[in-house]
């Protein structure tokens, strides 16, 4: 959504496009390419998970190494979300988005050159930093490209490809590629091609709105102002548990399926894809449901459903069909609530000038502590006690987040009785 100030003319409020027709055309182009790019980013991030059963044998790695590889990327992702997201508010979206896409594409290819754990760890850390810069910047760019009545829909579209492409189609594509390439290294080499293509398209399509220049001269609110809003603080805490839940499942479920349940690699690819397809449905469905019943009730209902689904998953044996359904539900609840906390509830809780920071700071905290530390703990647990126990970490994370969410203030227009952003309602 584009900001309006008293000193800016009406024709300058919307975007740098000259006409409404051009603005409408820009909207669908920008949302589409940002959505595709986020999916490719996710594919590169999670590429290592379905490949790891092969990589760990080749490089003599273990579950702790897998947890560390997922954890280091999450930590640098979180740091970059705070730093680069803020810089994009000051210098523009293009100067962050385009270099970030080129960067994560190249670093993904570099993973294929790794011959030892340390090299792979360093490349993953660098990859996480550039990917983290893209995430809040892309959310802000989607806001700015969207007509006000379509902001929620467009954010859902832009975010859902993270699960659909990276976690849904990714395991299927990777496990099939392993049948035709000489070694796993080539999968990483080829992974850079889609990213470099979309980087060029982003260069041609994405534009910086004029209001960024207005903000630099007229808007004086510091990013630290977001800490005055109760929901932002609560969402930072809740995301620790959500990240623990979702990313432990996404990062280690392939090994759980092959090593504990003894599924074949093709069976694993099919079952693991449920994480992506379920996450995509959750990202689109839960926000839409919350528009009708309220943000807080929707979040709490799907926390409960997610916990029940993980308990059922723990008690399900080598049954690919049942495993697919349960993982689908688990992922839908996890990723849907992640989107609710970062892109919807947090941004609805603050003034328009703080929306990017309100999303970026919880994302940063969640990635660093939930997405970073939890996989490392999960790797330790799997390595010393058995990989089957990682699912208990997911349950603990979701229970914690559900308790924190009990204290959220409602922000849905249908519940509070107004359609505009509820800025003062969320102040501590």
pLDDT in tens, 338-380: 888 887 888 778 776 666 677 778 888 877 877 777 777 888 8
pLDDT score, position 423: 44
Please give the C-alpha separations between residue 96 and each of 80, 90, 256, 363, in angstroms, as whole numbers: 11, 11, 37, 17
Q: What is the pLDDT of residue 22?
A: 52
Residue 426's pLDDT band (cuts 50, 70, 90) = very low
User: What pLDDT shows up at residue 400?
Assistant: 94
Give the model's pLDDT for residue 44. 92
What is the reported pLDDT for 3? 37
What does the pLDDT average to over 110-115?
92
User: Minimal CA–CA distance to 276: which of 50, 7, 19?
Assistant: 50
User: Which residues, other chains included, contact 361 with Cβ-Cβ below 8 Å and sequence gap of 6+?
Assistant: 81, 82, 223, 226, 232, 236
- Is residue 90 very low, low, confident or very high in pLDDT (cuts 50, 70, 90)? confident
**Domain definitions of the chain by residue range:** 19-206+222-423
Rounded CA gap, 340 and 296, in Å? 9
Q: What is the mean pLDDT of the chain?
A: 82
Percent pLDDT > 70 in the chain is 85
In the block, residue with structure tokens 């990777």: 174
419 has a pLDDT exceeding 70? no
Q: What is the pTM of this model?
A: 0.76
163-167, 179-183, 362-366: lowest mean pLDDT where?
362-366
The whole-number average pLDDT for the span 206-212 is 70
- The whole-number average pLDDT for the span 209-230 is 63
Contacts of 316 (CB under 8 A, 6+ apart): 322, 323, 326
Residue 428 in this model has a pLDDT that exceeds 80: no
CA distances from 354 to 357, 361, 380 (A): 5, 11, 38
Please name the residues in contact with 141: beta carbons below 8 A apart, sequence gap of 6 or more: 30, 34, 93, 97, 206
Work out the pLDDT band at 18, boundaries 50, 70, 90.
Answer: very low
Predicted confidence (pLDDT) per residue in 247-291, tens digit: 778 778 888 898 899 888 888 888 888 888 898 899 888 888 887
Per-residue pLDDT at 224 exceeds 80: no
Confidence of residue 6 (pLDDT cuts 50, 70, 90): very low
Alpha-carbon gap, residue 423 to 214, rounded angstroms: 20
State residue 359's pLDDT score.
Answer: 74
Q: What is the mean pLDDT of residues 94-100?
A: 92
- Give the architecture (CATH level 2) of 19-206+222-423: Up-down Bundle (1.20)
Label residue 247 exposed, middle or buried (CB < 10 Å: 0-12, 13-18, 19+): buried
């Amino acid at each position: 959504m584009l900001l309006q100030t008293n000193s800016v003319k009406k024709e300058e409020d919307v975007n740098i496009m000259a006409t409404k027709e051009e603005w409408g055309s820009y909207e669908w182009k920008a949302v589409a390419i940002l959505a595709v790019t986020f999916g490719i980013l996710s594919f590169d991030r999670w590429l290592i998970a379905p490949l790891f059963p092969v990589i760990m044998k080749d490089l003599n790695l273990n579950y702790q190494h897998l947890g560390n590889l997922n954890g280091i990327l999450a930590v640098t992702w979180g740091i970059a979300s705070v730093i680069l997201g803020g810089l994009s508010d000051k210098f523009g979206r293009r100067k962050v988005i385009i270099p970030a896409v080129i960067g994560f594409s190249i670093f993904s290819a570099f993973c294929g050159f790794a011959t030892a754990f340390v090299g792979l760890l360093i490349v993953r850390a660098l990859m996480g930093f550039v990917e983290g810069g893209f995430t809040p910047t892309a959310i802000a760019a989607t806001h700015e490209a969207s007509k006000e009545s379509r902001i929620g829909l467009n954010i859902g579209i832009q975010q859902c490809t993270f699960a659909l492409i990276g976690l849904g189609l990714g395991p299927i594509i990777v496990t099939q590629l392993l049948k035709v390439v000489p070694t796993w290294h080539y999968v990483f080499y080829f992974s850079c091609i889609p990213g470099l293509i979309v980087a060029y398209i982003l260069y041609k399509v994405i534009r910086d709105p004029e209001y960024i220049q207005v903000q630099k001269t007229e808007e004086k609110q510091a990013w630290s102002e977001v800490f005055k809003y109760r929901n932002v603080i609560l969402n930072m805490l809740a995301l620790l548990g959500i990240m623990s839940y979702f990313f432990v499942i996404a990062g280690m479920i392939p090994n759980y399926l092959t090593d504990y349940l003894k599924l074949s690699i093709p069976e694993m690819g099919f079952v693991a894809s449920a994480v992506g397809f379920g996450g995509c449905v959750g990202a689109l469905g839960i926000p839409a449901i919350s528009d009708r019943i309220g943000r807080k009730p929707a979040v709490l209902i799907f926390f409960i459903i997610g916990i029940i689904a993980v308990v059922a998953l723990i008690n399900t044996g080598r049954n690919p069909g049942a495993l697919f359904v349960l993982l689908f539900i688990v992922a839908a609840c996890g990723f849907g609530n992640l989107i609710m906390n970062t892109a919807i509830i947090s941004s609805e809780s603050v003034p328009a000038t703080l929306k990017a920071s309100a999303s970026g700071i919880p994302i940063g905290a969640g990635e660093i502590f939930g997405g970073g530390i939890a996989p490392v703990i999960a790797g330790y647990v799997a390595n010393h006690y058995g990989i089957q126990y990682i699912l208990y970490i997911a349950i603990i994370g979701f229970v914690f987040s559900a308790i924190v969410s009990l204290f959220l203030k409602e922000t849905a227009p249908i519940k509070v009785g107004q359609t505009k952003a509820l800025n003062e309602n969320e102040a501590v």
